[in-house]
């Protein structure tokens, strides 16, 4: 478990927060928000999942308020998007790759932290998913959009996080929660997300679905 408090993983954590914050600030630009709106969506997207997890498990004050780097990183993303958003939009594919890496890291780290605070394996996996995807849900709600997590017309996002969190929970159950095994679980979620982006994989809808609502493009 010490692996996840190492300087390397802390740095990767900040990278994940930064990339998530970029996506929040970019959405704010598309919605024509002012600079304060950019900062709010960047902070919420980058820190929302971890903040929710820490409050639920009683890890207070949350890491978002005890580590200045966590708070400042989304503000750095805000400044970059504010001045360079056309450039960031052009490298959106690279941003998505880093976003997938953040998803993998956060679903594993979230599951581990929840279990360390005494939650069951199932509850820990759920909070692992919340850590990885919660910020994006809050971002979309604040921007008055249907969360991407719930939309069929978007590539799978929750499924890779669920797989990574579940793999982590099973490794804990089998007493195989080594740094290498945890890294493998994170890579599994990362690769699944990349494959979903590459091949446009989507989660299945209801069997024999009958709906008068047209599919969104």
Asked if pLDDT for residue 161 goes beyond 90, the answer is yes
Asked if pLDDT for residue 217 goes beyond 50, the answer is no
Give residue 93's pLDDT.
82
Asked if pLDDT for residue 136 goes beyond 60, the answer is yes
- Note whether 84 and 25 are within 8 A (CB): no
Give residue 213's pLDDT.
53
Mean pLDDT of 52-63: 92
Q: Which residues contact 163 (CB under 8 A, 6 or more apart)?
A: 188, 189, 192
**C-alpha separations of 30 from 76, 91, 158 in Å:** 19, 16, 23
C-alpha triplet 178, 180, 181: angle, nearest 5°: 65
The DSSP letter of residue 200 is T
Give residue 159's pLDDT.
93
Asked if pLDDT for residue 17 goes beyond 70, the answer is yes
Q: Mind listing the pLDDT tens digit for each residue in 165-191?
A: 999 999 999 999 888 898 899 999 999
CA distance 169 to 128: 9
Give residue 90's pLDDT.
84
Assessment of whether the complete model's pTM goes beyond 0.85: yes
Give residue 101's pLDDT.
86
């Amino acid at each position: 478990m010490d692996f996840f408090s190492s300087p390397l993983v802390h740095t990767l954590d900040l990278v994940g927060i930064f990339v998530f914050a970029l996506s929040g600030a970019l959405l704010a630009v598309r919605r024509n928000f002012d600079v304060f709106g950019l900062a709010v969506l960047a902070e919420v997207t980058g820190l929302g999942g971890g903040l929710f997890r820490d409050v639920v498990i009683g890890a207070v004050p949350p890491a978002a308020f005890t580590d200045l780097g966590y708070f400042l990183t989304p503000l750095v993303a805000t400044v970059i998007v504010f001045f360079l958003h056309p450039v960031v939009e052009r490298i959106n594919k690279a941003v998505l790759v880093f976003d997938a890496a953040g998803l993998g890291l956060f679903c594993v780290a979230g599951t581990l932290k929840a279990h360390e605070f005494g939650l069951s394996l199932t509850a820990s996996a759920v909070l692992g998913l919340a850590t990885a995807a919660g910020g994006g849900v809050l971002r979309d709600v604040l921007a008055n959009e249907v969360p991407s997590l719930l939309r069929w017309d978007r590539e799978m996002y929750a499924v890779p996080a669920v797989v990574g969190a579940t793999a982590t929970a099973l490794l804990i159950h089998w007493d195989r929660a080594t740094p290498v095994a945890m890294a493998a679980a994170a890579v599994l979620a990362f690769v699944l997300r990349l494959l979903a982006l590459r091949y446009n994989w989507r989660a299945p809808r209801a069997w024999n679905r009958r709906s008068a609502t047209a599919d969104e493009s």
